[in-house]
Amino acid sequence: MNYGTVPAFKQLTFPGGSGVELWLAGPSGADMVPEQLWNTLSKSEQNRADRFLRPEDRALFVMTRGILRFLLGTATGVAAGAIAFAEGPFGKPYLSQVRGPLFNVSHSGSFALIGLSESRPIGVDIERMRLTGDELNVAKRFFSAAEYRALQAQEKDAMLSDFYKIWTCKEAVLKACGAGISEHLKHFSVEVTKDGFAIDPEPDWIPPAHAAISAAPVAVPPGYAGCCALA
């Protein structure tokens, strides 16, 4: 295995709530895995990393998981390699055996977005924007009717940007709620506004505990879209 240096990571500003830390990590190396991060991973995480066929996917996974462990170790006072995770019913991880922040991660391309929250459930999503020509078909199948109509009325460049803004917002909201992604994508609509996002859920879809859910775009590198949501 080729070892490299730890990729850069920096804290981002999140205007959507106090007690929240957002971190952007990357870019990850094309085929270099930082030894310092690799050594903090559990054996199961190392095995998972080794199953990736593409070296760049392995490097992205190790960077994301290793920096997450570092941030959680700093927040809890537990060594990064000793952090233990458990998973919720839809695979969302949480801290096991130690009290600490709620968290969520997402990675795409060569960057990772990591969110920590003192009290409110958090969801984050980052996506590399790529024009496939199939965006409207995807929106018609998975988005709400209102979202599809809004995208259909736009020119190509604006449509691509808003498609990924809506996509990242929907994923971040559902991750914050701890809900399954595929079965709930149409249960609420996201409107892209000049101030960020307006969320319009179907009646009775969002549980009372998550009635105050909010989402805001995140300043990620050019060519990417990002969102953070709090439930």
Q: Which CATH number is 186's domain given?
A: 3.90.470.20
Has residue 176 got a pLDDT over 80?
Answer: yes
Question: Average pLDDT in the 186-197 region?
Answer: 92
Chosen domain end from 66, 89, 119: 119
Q: Identify whether residues 168 and 81 lie together within a single domain.
A: no
pLDDT at res. 2: 54
Q: Identify whether residues 39 and 60 lie together within a single domain.
A: yes
The chain-wide mean pLDDT, for the chain, equals 91
Q: Identify whether residues 73 and 181 lie together within a single domain.
A: no
Q: Identify whether residues 138 and 115 lie together within a single domain.
A: no
Question: Average pLDDT in the 206-210 region?
Answer: 61
Q: Identify whether residues 12 and 110 lie together within a single domain.
A: yes
Q: What is the extent of the structural domain holding 199?
A: 126-230
pLDDT at res. 202: 77
How many structural domains comprise the chain? 2
Query: What are the C-alpha distances in Å from 29 to residues 5, 41, 51, 90, 111?
Result: 9, 18, 17, 30, 10
Q: Identify whether residues 86 and 112 lie together within a single domain.
A: yes
Angle at 78 between CA 80 and CA 8, to 5 degrees: 35
The tokens describing 140, both together, are 């018609």
Has residue 205 got a pLDDT over 80?
Answer: no
Read off the pLDDT of residues 138-162 as tens digits, 9 standing for 90 and up: 999 999 999 999 999 999 999 999 9
